A and B are shown apart, each in its own frame.
Chain A
Amino acid sequence: MDEQYLGIFDESEQASKEEHPTNRRVELMLGALASLVLVFIAGMVIFVFLKGLPSLTGNGISWFGGGGNVDEQLTNIFNSPAEPENYVYELSAFPLLWSTFLISFIAVCFATVISIFSSIFIVEFAPRPLERILEPVVKFLAAIPSVIYGLLGVLVLVPWINDTLITEEMRVSVRYVIQLDGTSVLAGVIILTIMILPIMIAIITDSLRAVPQVWREGALALGVNRWRALRTVSLRAIRPAIVAAAVLATARALGEAIMLAMVTGSIGFAPNPFDGFLFFLEPSRPLAATIIDGAEGLSVEPFGQTMYAFAFILIVSTGLLSFAGWAARKSLSRYSIGAK
């Protein structure tokens, strides 16, 4: 191959890369291993889908509907007779889906607002000593295992809600439908917000710091105060990063099982927003927590299949969200308003 004269390094680099058979073999082996990741993910999605399919087909579109008592239905499924033809699949999963959506959505909304203000504080207004301890504080909050958050929630927050926020008349008013004992949407939302804050704060502070200094100086030089300059120039500039942070936080929130299982109650119940403030205090149980609660019954066929159907919904939604978040961050770093 003497068509081109390559520089010395290029030549030996090419030689080392291509002509050595061992190198080629190594490359193929490593490539195969890396592709296993994709095979694994595909396999996971497919097999979970297949395993959960009977539950979905057994109900059709009404799987997503409401109307029944989800817990009763799950018990019936668990108690199905042993013959495959007689398996009971009936399920209207709406209360679980609604609960998942509600808790995640509210938590992400709170976390977005709080993380924006906190990031602004860290980047702009915090005095130096505070700024230096805030970074490890955020990392610390991120490192706490979810079961510890759950423990604190169920032993501290839930009793407090029960004693302080839930009044006797509230209990009476919902007596026929549900029992209020402090495990609630509110407890779940509060702790979930704290859990997803570190992710969002990390991304938003990084992108605030990446906003070109010249814009900030230009705004200040026009006589605009620091807050206005931040709000009108920097925050506008990092809008895509905020969206990416929110997407990733949602994926995290959807998948949170243990903490929510401990803190939102074990009742598959769809709180009604029109109940007013009461609706925050009612127990509920999102999808992931339902799977955890049903973990022991996984060997019972129809019940297990129902759980796998739940898992399929979860993996598809979090997978799409994670992918979207990753794609957004990659495109952001190209424009150098980075979210690393």
Chain B
Amino acid sequence: MSTTTTRKRKQEAVRQTRAARPKKIKSKDSWSIGDRIGVGLAWFFGLMLCLVAAAITLYMAWKGVSFVNWEIISTSPEASLEQSKTGGFLDPIIGTVLLTVIGAAIATPIGVAIAIWLTEYGRPAPLARFVEAGIEVIVGAPSIVLAIFGLLVFQQGFLSPFSFTAEGGAVFGRSFFAAGAVMSLIALPFVVGGTREALNSIPRHVREASYALGKDQASTIRRVLLPSSRSGIATGSTLGMAQIAGDTAVVVVLLGASLQISPEGDIPGLDVLKGTGSTLTSFVFQNSPAGEGNAPDKAYAAAFVLLLLVILLNLIVNLVTRKGKQVWG
């Protein structure tokens, strides 16, 4: 047989096989209209979620990059009728950093203590459940309510050293101290959560080994458990810091409304804490159409810096949690 004939036969065979292969039967009637609408909506909302997030990111990035420059970040804001003379937002940046640090510094020891009590002791049990519920209530409490309660507390006479007292005896009640104290409340549940998770992930045999060596519970906690929980505590604190940095209500109520950091009193260092100031969040609020200022570009710039800060803190948390999976063996 010649090769052409063989080839033709082969081609014919292939064509016949292809023709003979039946088309895939896609049965449409097992998916009713309702089902298809359902799947369609699932896709729609899923994609919309991504779109909204992308839109927010891109828009903020665009606005931020257009308005942020070195000058803005490094100059203090001035009150002025002329837009060009209103300066930058250095003080608010310092204010944010200061409040975040104060808040976390207060919240961390207290939060760790509470978490230790909840996981390692926790007696009597009903009390522990109530404390857990209490932490949840704090998480759910609107920060504006925590803020005005804080104001109530710090306006009491015995707390006057923490802020400034006007003539006539009225305690101002607004200062970095006051705001920092209330901010620590906001960060507290996160520190408690992070520490508890870390402590709970330490297996029982580690504790038993320590007891078998004759150490009592308190030393076990101090020497063995706490050092191993460091990453969990750090995670909790960082999350708490992100929450503090993003909060506006507490700042508006408890930090006074001074554009610049206005120290109070004569002791250096302490005077800043007793004094008033502003943060990135209150700065954005004031400069938006909702506040007094009419400087949307400054607001965008400050918002961009704030967003970067918060994202950075969250990223740190993610990296630490992914790295810090300790192996207990």
Contacts and interface: CB of A to CB of B under 8 A. Distances in A.
Please tell me whether chains A and B touch each other in their complex, using a CB distance cut-off of 8 A.
Answer: yes
Interface of A: 8-9, 12-13, 15-17, 20, 22-23, 26-27, 30-31, 33-35, 37-38, 40-41, 44, 47-48, 51, 114, 117-118, 120-122, 124-126, 130, 133-134, 137-141, 143-148, 150-152, 154-156, 194, 197, 201, 223, 225, 227-228, 231, 248, 251-252, 254-258, 261-263, 266, 288, 291-292, 295-296, 298-299, 307-308, 311, 314-315, 318-319, 321-323, 325-327
Given A37-B114, A48-B145, 13 more contacts: A9-B211, A12-B214, A17-B217, A37-B138, A47-B149, A137-B53, A148-B284, A154-B288, A225-B35, A258-B249, A262-B288, A308-B152, A326-B132
Interface string B35-75: 10011011111100110110011011000000000000000
B137 interface: yes
Contacts of A311: 144-145, 148-149
B94 interface: no
A256 B214 CA distance: 52
Contacts of B211: 9, 12-13, 15-16
A223 B46 CA distance: 26
Nearest to A226: B39
A258 B218 contact: no
A48 B149 contact: yes
B138 A41 contact: yes
Contacts of A266: 290
B46 A151 contact: no
A255 B50 contact: no
26 contacts: A12-B212, A13-B211, A16-B211, A16-B215, A22-B218, A27-B123, A40-B185, A118-B46, A121-B45, A125-B46, A130-B46, A139-B314, A141-B49, A148-B306, A148-B307, A151-B300, A154-B288, A225-B31, A256-B142, A262-B285, A291-B148, A292-B144, A298-B253, A318-B142, A319-B137, A325-B140
Contacts of A225: 30-31, 35
B139 interface: yes
Nearest to B114: A34
A319 B152 contact: no
A33 B114 contact: yes
Contacts of B248: 145-147, 258
Contacts of B161: none
B14 interface: no
A141 B45 contact: no
Contacts of B50: 130, 133-134, 137
A316 B59 CA distance: 38
Interface centre among B118, B139, B211, B289 (most CB of A within 10 A): B211
**Which 4 A-B pairs have CB atoms at the shortest separation, nearest pair first?**
A255-B142, A322-B140, A145-B246, A121-B46
A247 to B, nearest CB: 10
A257 B143 contact: yes
Nearest to B213: A12
Interface in B171-208: 185, 207-208
Interface centre among B146, B152, B300, B314 (most CB of A within 10 A): B152
Contacts of A314: 142, 144-145
Interface in B87-140: 110, 113-114, 116-118, 121, 123, 127-128, 130-140
Contacts of A130: 46, 50
A23 B289 CA distance: 57
A79 B57 CA distance: 44
Interface residues of B, number: 88
Contacts of A120: 42
Say whether chain A's binding surface is mostly helix, strand, loop, or mixed.
helix
Given A38-B134, A117-B44, A137-B53, A9 B289 contact: no
Nearest to B150: A44
B142 A257 contact: yes
B299 A151 contact: yes
Nearest to A224: B30
Nearest to B290: A262
B234 interface: no
A308 B43 contact: no
B292 to A, nearest CB: 11
Contacts of A133: 50
A316 to B, nearest CB: 10
B289 A227 contact: no
Contacts of B143: 255, 257
A147 B139 contact: no
B259 interface: no
B228 interface: no
Contacts of A139: 314
Nearest to A316: B145
B222 to A, nearest CB: 9
A322 B141 contact: yes
Interface string B141-171: 1111110110111000000000000000010
A147 B285 contact: yes
Contact of A231 (B38, B44, B135, B144): B38
B245 interface: yes
Contacts of A322: 136-137, 139-141
Nearest to B116: A30
Contacts of B226: none
Interface string B249-274: 10011000100000000000000000
B63 to A, nearest CB: 9
A255 B134 contact: no
B242 interface: yes
B144 to A, nearest CB: 4
B316 interface: no
Interface in B295-325: 296, 299-300, 303, 306-307, 310-311, 314
A101 to B, nearest CB: 15
